[in-house]
Structure 1
Amino acid sequence: MTTGLADRCSILVVDDMEENLIAFEAVLGPLHQHLVRARSGEEALKAMLRQDFAVVLLDVRMPDMDGFETTANIKRLDQTKDVPVILVTGTEPGADYAYRGYAVGAADFITKPIDPWVLRTKINVFLDLHRKNRQLALRAHPADTDRIAEITERLAQIELLLRNREEPGTAGLADRIVEVERAVSTLLPGPGGDCR
């Protein structure tokens, strides 16, 4: 399945080991989604406060803040509490691991070595759920959709005005406006919106 740029969702992959991050990127690459890396629980929380994620793939064993503690912190914050977390463990999750993971709010577990097909299937379920939740939220507020479309159009106009000026720094500002325009357009249903 080919996914257009406008259809991409963001997935946060958290592991303290570079080789594991590379492996996850290789396995998830065929999904054609936007993958964001974090090397610690703290980096993961910062990333989640900066952008919206459809799902988080989180290693259990990390120094400082492990996967359980990171999940608990994710679930405590209003902005991130609804993002599903899949915990990744190097051992078969026993009853204590499963209990502890589900108690802090994990949605699922996956064990290493990872079966690529199983991981992609699990991730796709959460991507579909994320898309449907966003569509339902927009349908509940049609006036908001009109307002978002108006804001996106105004941002595009501002960007064009900035690009036509020859003053130093306007090109960089125009680039930032484009980023804001893209972020706002993700809230729209259909081809203009992200992760539909």
Structure 2
Amino acid sequence: MSTTPAEQCSILIVDDMEENLVAFEAVLGPLHQRLVRAQSGEQALKAMLRQEFAVVLLDVRMPGMDGFETAANIKRLDQTKDVPIILVTGTEAGADYAYRGYAIGAADFITKPIDPWVLRTKISVFLDLHRKNRQLALRAVAADTERLTEITERLTRIEVLLRDRREPDADGLADRIAELERSVGTLLPGPVEAE
């Protein structure tokens, strides 16, 4: 599966053990995405605030801030609350791990030893969702921009019509419309050309 740089997403992998990070990188490498490492909950939170991630692969058992605390902190922040988290647990994990993880907002669990195919499949689902959400957001911005451009063009035409009229109040009204047009224009991503 080859992706262009524009289609690449970032995946945050969090584990305190170097060998686990290396193993995750080896398993996820064939997905051709940007892999970002963190070796603690604190490093993970800093990384989450610096860039956008499509998904977080988070070990539950870490010294200091464990995976549950890290996930809870990620879900508390407006900037990161919607990023899906896959918690990685050992075979000793019981039902209370699942309950606790889902209660704080984890999207999924995977148990060690990890089946590479299962992990890549799960991650791929979240990558696809992330790309689709990004496309929807871009379409919404484009639709809003198109609507604002249309409003600006209408205001410009009204302003021109009012300025062409020779009534005493027409200039004041045209000035107010021009001011409104400028206000709408500031909402657009680029300069708006008047007709």
TM over 0.5: yes
* Residue 14 (structure 2) pairs with residue 14 (structure 1): yes
The TM-score, its normalising length taken from structure 1, stands at 0.72
2:47 alignment partner in structure 1: 47
The TM-score, its normalising length taken from structure 2, stands at 0.72
CA RMSD of aligned residues (A): 1.4
SS of corresponding position for 1:35? strand
Segments of 5+ residues of structure 2 without an aligned counterpart are 147-195
Distance 2:143 2:137 in 1: 12
Deviation of the 1:138 alpha carbon: 1.1
Count residues with an aligned counterpart. Answer: 146
Distance 1:145 1:39 in 2: 42
Q: Bigger CA drift: 85-94 or 54-63?
A: 85-94
Contact 2:7 2:131 in 1 (8 A): no
Deviation of the 1:5 alpha carbon: 1.9
* Residue 105 (structure 2) pairs with residue 105 (structure 1): yes
- Where do residues 59-138 of structure 1 align in structure 2 (5 Å cutoff)? 59-91=59-91, 93-138=93-138
Identity of aligned residues (%): 86
Distance 1:10 1:142 in 2: 24
Deviation of the 1:20 alpha carbon: 0.2
SS of corresponding position for 1:91? coil
SS of corresponding position for 1:123? helix
Deviation per CA, 1:65-85: give whole Å up to 9, x if none.
000000000000000000000
Deviation of the 1:141 alpha carbon: 1.4
Runs of 4+ in 1 over 6 A off after TM superposition: 143-146
Letter in 1 for 2:11: I
Contact 1:138 1:144 in 2 (8 A): no
Distance 1:145 1:22 in 2: 44
Deviation of the 1:143 alpha carbon: 6.2
SS of corresponding position for 1:5? coil
- The structure with the largest alpha-carbon Rg is 2
Q: Identify if the C-alpha distance between structure 1 residues 86 and 145 changes in structure 2 by more than 3 Å, giving closer, same or farther.
A: farther
Segments of 5+ residues of structure 1 without an aligned counterpart are 147-196
Deviation per CA, 1:73-132: give whole Å up to 9, x if none.
000000000000000011254210100000111000000000000000000000000000
Deviation of the 1:144 alpha carbon: 7.0
Distance 1:42 1:145 in 2: 38
Distance 1:64 1:82 in 2: 24
